[in-house]
Amino acid sequence: MVSRGISLEEIKNAISKGSKRIQNGKIVAAYRYFEVVYKKVDETFVVVTVSPRW
């Protein structure tokens, strides 16, 4: 996330506002120019990776 120049606030926006799909048991949220792969464990969001949408 840091190496790609994506802030924590952008990650939060992606999780709350991005379009979502399920992939291999994880949630992928597409938002602006990047995607966030995460899982929801209880009430916590665990970010697996963040990647640009090229």
The structure's pTM equals 0.89
- State the pLDDT at residue 22: 98
32-46 per-position pLDDT tens digit:
999 999 999 999 999
Q: How far apart, in Å, are the Cα atoms of 18 and each of 4, 11, 42? A: 18, 10, 20
Q: How far apart, in Å, are the Cα atoms of 36 and each of 1, 52? A: 9, 9
Neighbours of 15 (CB within 10 A): 17
